[in-house]
Amino acid sequence: MPGPLGQYALVVRDLGSAFVAAVLGAGERQLARAPRTAALIADWPGDPAADALAMRFNGALHALARRGDDPALAALYATRTGDFDGVIGDAMAAADGFIAQWMQQSPQTNEVGRAGAIMAALMTLRGVHDLPVELLELGASAGLNLNLVHYAYDLGSVQVGRRDSPVRIVPEWRGSAPVARPVEIVATRGVDLRPLAAADPQARERLMAYVWADEPERAERLRHALAIAGELPPQIACDDIARWLPAELARPPAKSICRVVIHTMALQYCSPATRMAVTEAMAATDYPLARIGFEWTDARDAVHLTLTTYPDGEVRHLATCHAYGHWIDWHG
């Protein structure tokens, strides 16, 4: 039976990246050449799938390729052809310590393609709470999705957002189009255990390394989103979700505002206690509030976009989505 890298290679291939699947497959076969990395994977204390262990490994290899210190690895990533086992095995042997260290930190994808799903959910929310919104993001990373009003969208032929934005989000849309409603965001802030600053070159490079190397359009979109965040820095607290969110929700919101908590592929990295703290803090409120989630199902067989409104606690499954927002199967 394949290990975590080989297992996720099959998932990645289904998600559309033959190159990353080949990288993960070669990494699995060459693990013996990187004893520190091999030991880290073998003794991983949590769930390798939920903790995105394979994506951590792939990010580390991509970071090495982008640095250019290993010409053979850089060439493999540039051409996406060659001796995968030989080149990746040599890179793993030479940079075993770097790979193991990189993998100990949680992934930092901050994929702005997911903002398309969030925007569609916000338009739907306007039909429930007809109010401007205040966004609170959990696991915000560099906060790129907090800047979603500065991006341009084509969502099932519904065009919204800033039309002249260099960040264009046009997912493949399946199903009926969402109802076009105005989205007015009056304030944004987020929280992350290890927030990244968009103006920090190292932080930008870390985010770029998590973009799949065979998706240049996605990388270009990220570069533009980072440039916008450099000019309009999101407000992100360095704190624990279980402590930060209850304190934020305890503050009375401004009058005639709907507070909205969003999280995209973030809660899978949280403990059950933290996830329960989020649910309990939101259920305890008595003002207009909503929660928009873009997360794997418990079975990790699909990514669901959900909208939960309070105080009634009604949960709506709005869409099933590609993990990075490439397509959205809209249920409405």
For residue 50, the model assigns a pLDDT of 83
Nearest residue to 256 via CA among 311, 184, 200, 306? 184
Residues of the chain with pLDDT under 70: none
Q: For residue 189, give the H/E element and its range.
A: strand 185-192
Q: Are 318 and 125 in contact (CB under 8 A)?
A: no
- Beta carbons within 8 Å of 293's beta carbon, 6+ residues apart: 262, 263, 264, 267, 304, 305, 306, 308
Kindly report the pTM of this predicted structure. Answer: 0.90
For residue 182, the model assigns a pLDDT of 94
Q: How far is residue 93 from each of residues 31, 90, 99, 107, 235, measured CA to CA in Å? A: 9, 5, 10, 22, 40
Domains of the chain: 4-103 (no CATH), 112-330 (3.40.50)
Measure the CA–CA gap between 224 and 205, rounded to whole angstroms.
14
On the question of a cis peptide bond just before residue 71, with omega within 30 degrees of 0, the verdict is no
Residue 272 phi, psi dihedral angles, 5° rounding: -55, -35
CA angle (24, 9, 327) in 5-degree steps? 120
Q: Are strands 258-264 and 289-296 parallel, antiparallel or unpaired?
A: parallel
Going along 258-300, which residue ranges are E strands? 258-264, 289-296
Q: For residue 308, give the H/E element and its range.
A: strand 303-310
29, with CB counted inside 10 A (0-12, 13-18, 19+), is middle
Compute the radius of gyration of the chain from its Cα atoms. 20
- Beta carbons within 8 Å of 127's beta carbon, 6+ residues apart: 179, 181
